[in-house]
């Protein structure tokens, strides 16, 4: 093996990463991100063997003629399966069910999801928005992850070393803390999310400047509609965010990685706010403000247990000199992201990838959206109802964060009068209403998250009434 050089093995052990090494994306990678790659192992050889071999002994999946292990089975060469499995999956080929999916995900699903991403940009072909056309060219082929959580984990691990900071608003999904601080050992630079019921651009800017003192890259995580608040920025707020990012980029000339958690993307209930993901705005920028879109079937297609998510990286035209380099760059990124999959979960659930792939074939987009719109409308009515009732409460102990979509509202409780945890406990014990308390006084948070996604509209008045009664008990 010793004189087995890289070159005379047709470069089978590693990629050269010639293009990615020159990009700001690479300079923002963590040590792990720089180190990791996918050598061409079992899946490489089995992929080749499928095409080139007459006798294929590459992959650890049991195959046989169906009639040898199932009474009355066909004479086809199929992956072996327990007959009863079929009872649960009608209309699905056994090979789309029991075998491994490829490491980065089913190719057809990835293609479909990319088209879906373009569809979600609200690109209107009739108006020939040229900038958006580039979207197709300058975003990577989405890699399939085990849900959005796994896409968030993967992208945090790709950029964050233990000493690094990621900027996230103080009101955030608690699992970000699990991933960033507890798992990766990196740090969160938090900032107060709102000021005067608007996105706190100054706080955001200050957070960026603080982090720049410690590291030569910025990693930011934004999510709209937000969990736990339901916040979505207005168009003006989006523009302010962008202006600030641009200013920082021009003053410091460092890569700015913006992870966009789009878990709740389609649930926008107000026309006063930005109607599509901020990912699309960031992708249009020439600067090294690099958006990474993290989305999935979980909430978007209402298949929470399917565990299919996607990570898609926005590339910049100026990084490459021609289409050939662009294709190589995409392959290099694919290799790195695939390496994360291979070394953690190997590959994602095949069956749900098949379902997702079939659901979002391009010719079905409008139909799917139409069907989902019924659900969006149900949630929108609850959103309107709960906000109306909360506004009427007019209680000095309580303020509601700005919200315009997603599954939640967040009620802040005056920390000098009530502890959110005590309140949630009392509300549950005394009034049988379950909510999630978030109490982190260091980060100036003391409130409850109400998931109206799971409360029928007819029960919302009663829920709010009981919250009012529980509040009185603390006075
Ligand atoms: C903001 C946010 N991101 C990501 C997720 C996780 O999505 P998934 O279930 O696909 O991992 C959730 C789910 O609660 C969420 O609220």
Assign residue 412 the CATH number of its domain.
Answer: 3.90.1150.10
Q: Do 437 and 462 reside in the same domain of the chain? A: yes
Look at residues 360, 390, 414 and tell me which one is the last residue of a structural domain: 360
- Measuring CA to CA, which residue among 261, 258, 228, 217 is closest to residue 241? 258
Paired with 190 in beta bridges are: 168
Q: Which of 149, 265, 305 to mutate to test the pocket of ligand 1 (most atoms within 8 A of CB)?
A: 149
CA of 406 to the centre of ligand 1 (A): 11
Ligand 1 site residues, Cβ closer than 6 angstroms: 147-149, 173, 223, 227, 261, 263, 296, 298, 304, 309
- Measuring CA to CA, which residue among 203, 216, 169 is closest to residue 188? 169
**φ, ψ (nearest 5 deg) of residue 409:** -125, 155
Confidence bin at 16 (pLDDT 50/70/90): confident
CATH number for 262: 3.40.640.10
Closest approach atom of ligand 1 to CA 226: 1
With 90 as the cut, is the pLDDT of residue 11 above it?
A: no
Residue 349: inside a domain: yes
Q: Do 211 and 135 reside in the same domain of the chain? A: yes
Q: Do 299 and 396 reside in the same domain of the chain? A: no
Q: Do 467 and 319 reside in the same domain of the chain? A: no
DSSP state at residue 177 = H
d(CA 207, CA 218) in angstroms, rounded, equals: 10
Residue 134: inside a domain: yes
Q: How many helices (H) and strands (E) in the chain? A: 18, 15
Query: By residue range, what is the domain housing residue 378?
Result: 372-472
- Measuring CA to CA, which residue among 411, 410, 409, 405 is closest to residue 379? 405
CA of 390 to the centre of ligand 1 (A): 26
Closest approach atom of ligand 1 to CA 308: 10
CA of 414 to the centre of ligand 1 (A): 28
Q: Do 290 and 380 reside in the same domain of the chain? A: no
pLDDT tens digits, one per residue of 337-389: 999 999 999 999 999 999 999 999 989 999 999 999 999 999 999 999 999 99
Q: Which of 263, 349, 449 to mutate to test the pocket of ligand 1 (most atoms within 8 A of CB)?
A: 263
Residue 137: inside a domain: yes
Q: Do 460 and 315 reside in the same domain of the chain? A: no
Mean pLDDT of the chain: 92
* pLDDT given for residue 27 in this prediction: 94
Higher local confidence (pLDDT), 8 or 257: 257
Residue 100: inside a domain: no
d(CA 305, CA 320) in angstroms, rounded, equals: 39
* pLDDT given for residue 4 in this prediction: 37
Residue 303: inside a domain: yes
Residues 6+ apart with CB under 8 A from 390: 398, 400, 409, 411, 464
- Using CA positions, which residue lies closest to atom 13 of ligand 1? 263
Look at residues 315, 338, 360 and tell me which one is the last residue of a structural domain: 360
Structure-token pair, residue 124? 């209107």
d(CA 220, CA 57) in angstroms, rounded, equals: 46
Number of folded domains that form the chain:
2
pLDDT tens digits, one per residue of 94-110: 999 999 999 999 999 99
Q: Do 300 and 447 reside in the same domain of the chain? A: no
Residue 132: inside a domain: yes
CA of 116 to the centre of ligand 1 (A): 19
Task: Specify the DSSP element, H or E, that contains 399.
Answer: strand 398-400
Q: Where are the alpha helices (DSSP H) in 253-400?
A: 278-283, 297-300, 323-344, 350-359, 365-393
Q: Which of 153, 222, 227, 301 to mutate to test the pocket of ligand 1 (most atoms within 8 A of CB)?
A: 227
d(CA 248, CA 226) in angstroms, rounded, equals: 24
Q: Do 356 and 447 reside in the same domain of the chain? A: no
Structure-token pair, residue 255? 């890569």
Q: Do 454 and 416 reside in the same domain of the chain? A: yes
Residue 158: inside a domain: yes
pLDDT tens digits, one per residue of 257-275: 999 999 999 999 999 999 9
Confidence bin at 126 (pLDDT 50/70/90): low
Closest approach atom of ligand 1 to CA 304: 9
Structure-token pair, residue 164? 């690094």
Look at residues 360, 381, 409 and tell me which one is the last residue of a structural domain: 360
CA of 12 to the centre of ligand 1 (A): 37
Structure-token pair, residue 265? 């993307």
* pLDDT given for residue 14 in this prediction: 61
Structure-token pair, residue 79? 């992956």
- Measuring CA to CA, which residue among 313, 310, 369 is closest to residue 120? 369
CA of 74 to the centre of ligand 1 (A): 42
Global pTM value: 0.93
- Are residues 195 and 218 in contact, defined by beta-carbon separation less than 8 angstroms? no
CA of 459 to the centre of ligand 1 (A): 25
* pLDDT given for residue 87 in this prediction: 87
Residue 418: inside a domain: yes
Residue with tokens 């072996």: 80
CA of 309 to the centre of ligand 1 (A): 10
- Identify each DSSP E strand in 85-223 by its residue range: 143-145, 165-169, 187-191, 194-195, 198-199, 218-222
- Using CA positions, which residue lies closest to atom 12 of ligand 1? 263
Q: Do 174 and 291 reside in the same domain of the chain? A: yes
d(CA 396, CA 414) in angstroms, rounded, equals: 8
CA of 381 to the centre of ligand 1 (A): 23
With 70 as the cut, is the pLDDT of residue 10 above it?
A: no
Q: Do 327 and 376 reside in the same domain of the chain? A: no
- Using CA positions, which residue lies closest to atom 16 of ligand 1? 227
- Map residue 419 onto helix, strand or coil: coil
d(CA 448, CA 412) in angstroms, rounded, equals: 7
Q: Do 278 and 199 reside in the same domain of the chain? A: yes
d(CA 260, CA 295) in angstroms, rounded, equals: 8
């Amino acid at each position: 093996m010793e004189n087995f050089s890289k070159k005379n093995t047709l470069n089978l052990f590693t990629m050269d990463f010639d293009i990615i090494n020159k990009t700001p994306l690479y300079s923002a990678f963590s040590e792990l991100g720089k180190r990791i790659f996918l050598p061409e192992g079992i899946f490489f050889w089995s992929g080749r063997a499928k095409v080139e071999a007459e006798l294929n002994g590459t992959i650890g999946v049991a195959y046989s003629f169906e009639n040898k292990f199932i009474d009355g089975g066909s004479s086809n060469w199929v992956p072996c399966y327990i007959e009863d499995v079929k009872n649960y999956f009608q209309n699905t080929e056994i090979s789309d069910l029991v075998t491994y999916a490829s490491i980065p995900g089913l190719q057809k699903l990835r293609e479909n999801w990319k088209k879906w991403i373009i569809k979600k940009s609200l690109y209107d072909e009739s108006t020939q928005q040229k900038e958006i056309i580039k979207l197709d060219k300058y975003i990577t082929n989405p890699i399939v992850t085990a849900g959005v959580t796994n896409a968030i984990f993967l992208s945090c691990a790709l950029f964050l070393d233990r000493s690094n900071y990621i900027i996230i608003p103080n009101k955030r999904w608690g699992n970000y803390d699990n991933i960033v601080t507890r798992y990766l050992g990196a740090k969160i630079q938090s900032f107060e999310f709102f000021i005067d019921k608007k996105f706190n651009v100054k706080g955001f800017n200050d957070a960026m400047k603080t982090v720049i003192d410690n590291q030569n890259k910025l990693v930011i995580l934004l999510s709209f509609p937000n969990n736990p608040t339901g916040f979505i920025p207005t168009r003006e707020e989006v523009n302010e965010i962008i202006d600030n990012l641009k200013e920082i980029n021009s003053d410091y000339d460092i890569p700015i990685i913006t992870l966009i958690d789009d878990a709740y993307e389609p649930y926008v209930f107000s026309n006063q706010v930005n109607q599509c993901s901020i990912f699309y705005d960031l992708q249009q920028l020439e600067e090294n403000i690099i958006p990474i879109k993290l989305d999935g079937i979980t909430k978007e297609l209402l298949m929470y247990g399917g565990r299919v998510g996607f990570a898609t990286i926005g590339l910049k035209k100026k990084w490459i000199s021609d289409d050939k380099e662009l294709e190589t760059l995409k392959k290099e990124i694919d290799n790195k992201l695939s390496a994360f999959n291979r070394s953690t979960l190997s590959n994602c659930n095949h069956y749900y990838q098949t379902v997702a792939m079939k659901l979002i074939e391009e010719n079905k987009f409008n139909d799917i959206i139409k069907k989902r719109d019924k659900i969006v409308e149900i949630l929108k009515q609850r959103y309107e109802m709960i906000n109306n009732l909360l506004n009427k409460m007019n209680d000095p102990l309580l303020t509601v964060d700005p919200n315009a979509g997603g599954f939640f509202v967040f009620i802040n409780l005056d920390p000098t009068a009530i502890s959110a945890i005590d309140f949630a406990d009392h509300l549950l014990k005394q009034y049988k209403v379950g909510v999630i308390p978030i109490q982190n006084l260091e980060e100036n948070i003391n409130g409850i998250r109400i998931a109206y996604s799971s409360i029928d509209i007819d029960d919302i008045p009663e829920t709010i009434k009981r919250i009012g009664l529980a509040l009185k008990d603390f006075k």
